[in-house]
Amino acid sequence: MFAGSDSGGEHAAVLYSLIGTCRLNNVEPEKWLRYVIEHIQDWPANRVRDLLPLESLI
C-alpha cells in the first residue's frame, strides 16, 4: 500500500488499528470517532483510556 511517506504509513497503521479494534468490539468506527472528536477537548486526561473503542461509549 502507498502511504506517501514513512510517517504517513505510521499514521495509517494507527487508524487501521483503531478501526479494527472497533470492529472486534462491535463498536461502529464512524460513530466512535465522531464521539471522541466531539468530547476529547473536555475529557479529563486521567480518563483518556476510557475513550478507547473497547466498549460502546454511545
Q: For position 8, what pLDDT does the model report?
A: 86
CA distance 10 to 35: 23
Range of the domain at 50: 28-58
Q: Is 44 among the domain residues? A: yes
Is the pLDDT reported for residue 3 higher than 90?
no
Would residue 6 count as lying in a domain? no
Is 35 a member of any domain?
yes
Per-residue pLDDT, 4: 72
Could you tell me if residue 55 is inside a domain? yes
Residue-wise pLDDT for 5-49, tens only, equals 878 889 999 999 999 999 999 999 999 999 999 999 999 999 999
Domain count, the chain: 1
Is residue 11 a part of any domain in this protein? no
